[in-house]
Structure 1
């Protein structure tokens, strides 16, 4: 039984009409000639909406083509945009336009679309470890569903280059931090709660991930160990997240928030597994799930000061409108 098909760039549009016939449920389009062609992106989206509306489509899209027309069209289908965060070299310096990318991310968030960023390091002239960490911090702050690092998946693609301002040690540090982000944030499905949980620690996301990289090294699940975060059950990643968060919250003397953090991570994790794997669940929380999933949970310190603990047994289940929960 064929489980994977590959199409050339020239075949894409013609093959979309055959996706359902072939039993394809996920379709990935990572073609640079498509990514920078707005008309073609729109054509592909409209073809998917017409012939394969139930297929999940991952599309590599250059940020320059994203506008209200593209965003509105994308709401017709089940899709995710993968957006490279690119820099430009000028006068020996690497420039990154935060305003440009934040505007694109805000537009996609306003339309309720799923998107992720793709980051590289030690590729552009003038890049440094510090600049890469700044791009990573920026990326996390835009609420992307995922953050990917193509160099981790394909070492021959844009290989990092040692320069006078980007040493081999810097490259290893960035690689390990990127892998930690890929594990904790992307494979860990942390987007709904990460920034809220990070805030009480008063550290940058890049520092958090570099600390997690060291934790991975000590616990034999680092990049060099060969660990593949996408090959293990999400529950295993969640266990890692909770152990490390316990460590960080203890380190920062935020002991009183640990129970709340566990509830938020566990409840969101269970909801994500229902959506992703169809796995229904029951769990016990120390706070009411209505409160845990409310806007109040954005500020953990304020939440603990103003919301009463209420032990609940929660059932996570599927409905016609998607994942839901009830207190039983």
Structure 2
């Protein structure tokens, strides 16, 4: 018997990994007799791939049964592929599982063309159903499944797996090949200790089951041995158990400092030691703020103490940890004014980024059960996005969406954390007012406020243009040069940080080299920038107010090179002549020709270029 498990991912990304399906295949292997009779194949697709193309690839494996992992983003696409399969192979068994199937089994069965669904954790039901299909027995009635009986929903419950370590690791069992992906998903636990009313994770029961530290240790070793570049940790309550979290962070610091980890954490369980441990590894944290209004959050079973939140986040800022917040607009009782206040609260804490969403009224959640009573109008199908509430009418929802888009572009994608609050301070605008003005300015320019439509350089250009506009409009034009210097520096710094540094030449290769006879070019990771003020003065001033900077320093043009070396980013202030020398190295002519054209001293230029080559600022093409 042959089974295909299909996963449809939104876009190519390091998170486009079929972990759920890999767990199913791994668990089937615990029944050696059954595994010998059943071949399971994993197929990955993107939402943009036509349904007939996906169906053809699936059918090429000649499956007897096909299963889909359903999420908010792929329900429609999965249904279209299932219809193509049914059209080409009428007798094939088609089933589905995942959060969307579990949350809305009746809707999924009614419109999706599936023979049955797997509800909740899929490993045990998948093994049971596969055994029934392999034996030619009816699949209906298996624990943990749902089906239609004369048009009515029928199902049998199951208990979750008590000991997660009894589920084999998809990594250690060789099912997931890390080289195929730009990163991996790493599940450390299942379940949740909280009961937020809007969340899929809440099913009327609380509690977390965790994989053992021995399992974590073995999988971490796998990640290190296979040079996985980044890992998204699937544990929505990672730091609730502080002792365990700190143990894992120490393991990572010792053995995997080169891997970038993404964690979801709760602010109320952060302490100074934990903040330092996060800062001691390569990672980013995501914190679910959702709203800064305690009353709004209380209405969805979340507790929030603004003062405590500020203190905990301050520990992250002190340690140098990288973190961002989630915000939701449209929660019951929320308003456009309330959302703007939440945005102001969040941006005052210097998050690296904000992820902002409209409320999704997800089926199967307590919030969905009382949506009509609360007046929550929302889309009836995925993504179930809120359209209006009594306190957040539809026009305000559109204004909030524009504000969220403006924040995504200007702040998050614009990498503005280091300078945002200081730059807008003299404008006498709140962060939300500033971003609202930016969103309106974009609209007047005919630019859609969608972050995916703009590249980093385009966003940098928009930042500079809007700042020039609003500084003139607010009559603080004299402060604009220093504001643009800060924007420009951090843009180049971020670009250098993301660029892989070149391989450095050896001292021996440079020692006897007449570098002026060589073809020399600027390394791709090197950034050259001109500033209106001496850049080293601005960097030493730190986060000072623009007025204070202008009071302390006079405009003085400066030129700088910004480049990566090892794990650091270096900034060197240059003489204009050497800046022009670096700028003139086009990789086509001899370095000596550029030196002669600029009328520079050959000896001084050669010494500078050897320094630049040793630092990785330039590369020498003919260096032996």
Q: TM-score, normalised by structure 1?
A: 0.88
Whether 1:275 aligns to 2:521 is no
- Whether the aligned pair in 2 keeps the contact of 1:67 and 1:107 (CA below 8 Å) is yes
Check 1:33–1:261 CA distance in 2 against 1; reply closer, same or farther (3 A cut). closer
Instruction: Give the length in aligned residue pairs.
Output: 323
List alignment gaps of at least 5 residues for structure 1: none
Instruction: Indicate the residue corresponding to 2:465 in structure 1.
Output: 243
- Whether the aligned pair in 2 keeps the contact of 1:68 and 1:107 (CA below 8 Å) is yes
Tell me, in whole angstroms, the C-alpha distance in 1 between the residues paired with 2:342 and 2:532: 36
Note the aligned Cα RMSD (angstroms). Answer: 2.8
Check 1:30–1:186 CA distance in 2 against 1; reply closer, same or farther (3 A cut). farther
Measured against aligned partners, the alpha-carbon deviations of 1:18-51 in whole angstroms (never above 9, x if no partner) come to 2233332111224324354434432432332233
Tell me, in whole angstroms, the C-alpha distance in 2 between the residues paired with 1:137 and 1:152: 19
Instruction: Indicate the residue corresponding to 2:275 in structure 1.
Output: 71
Deviates more, 1:125-134 or 1:210-219: 210-219
Greater per-residue strand proportion: 2
Q: CA deviation at 1:183?
A: 0.9
Tell me, in whole angstroms, the C-alpha distance in 1 between the residues paired with 2:496 and 2:569: 7
Check 1:302–1:276 CA distance in 2 against 1; reply closer, same or farther (3 A cut). same
Tell me, in whole angstroms, the C-alpha distance in 2 between the residues paired with 1:167 and 1:40: 44
Tell me, in whole angstroms, the C-alpha distance in 2 between the residues paired with 1:72 and 1:7: 22
Tell me, in whole angstroms, the C-alpha distance in 2 between the residues paired with 1:23 and 1:296: 36
Tell me, in whole angstroms, the C-alpha distance in 1 between the residues paired with 2:567 and 2:459: 27
Tell me, in whole angstroms, the C-alpha distance in 1 between the residues paired with 2:248 and 2:358: 27
Whether 1:55 aligns to 2:268 is no
Greater relative contact order, per chain length (Cα 8 Å cut-off, separation 6+):
1
Tell me, in whole angstroms, the C-alpha distance in 2 between the residues paired with 1:134 and 1:95: 18
Check 1:208–1:30 CA distance in 2 against 1; reply closer, same or farther (3 A cut). farther
Whether 1:177 aligns to 2:381 is no
Q: CA deviation at 1:161?
A: 5.5
Instruction: Indicate the residue corresponding to 1:26 in structure 2.
Output: 230
Instruction: Indicate the residue corresponding to 1:310 in structure 2.
Output: 556
Report the 3-state secondary structure (helix = DSSP H, G, I; strand = E; otherwise coil) of the residue aligned with 1:147: strand
List alignment gaps of at least 5 residues for structure 2: 1-178, 190-210, 363-378, 501-524, 575-624
Report the 3-state secondary structure (helix = DSSP H, G, I; strand = E; otherwise coil) of the residue aligned with 2:354: strand
- Whether the aligned pair in 2 keeps the contact of 1:151 and 1:158 (CA below 8 Å) is no
Tell me, in whole angstroms, the C-alpha distance in 2 between the residues paired with 1:165 and 1:297: 38
Identify the match of residue 263 of structure 1 among 485, 505, 514. 485
- Mapping 1:286-305, distance limit 5 Å: 286-295=532-541, 298-305=544-551
- Asked which structure has the greater CA Rg, the reply is 2
Report the 3-state secondary structure (helix = DSSP H, G, I; strand = E; otherwise coil) of the residue aligned with 2:238: helix
Whether 1:38 aligns to 2:228 is no
Greater per-residue helix proportion: 1
Instruction: Indicate the residue corresponding to 2:322 in structure 1.
Output: 114
- Whether the aligned pair in 1 keeps the contact of 2:329 and 2:359 (CA below 8 Å) is no
Q: CA deviation at 1:211?
A: 1.3
- Whether the aligned pair in 2 keeps the contact of 1:176 and 1:222 (CA below 8 Å) is no
Tell me, in whole angstroms, the C-alpha distance in 2 between the residues paired with 1:286 and 1:139: 31
Q: CA deviation at 1:298?
A: 1.8
- Whether the aligned pair in 1 keeps the contact of 2:325 and 2:346 (CA below 8 Å) is yes
Instruction: Indicate the residue corresponding to 1:131 in structure 2.
Output: 338
Q: CA deviation at 1:257?
A: 1.5
Q: CA deviation at 1:196?
A: 1.0
- Whether the aligned pair in 2 keeps the contact of 1:17 and 1:47 (CA below 8 Å) is no
Whether 1:2 aligns to 2:180 is yes
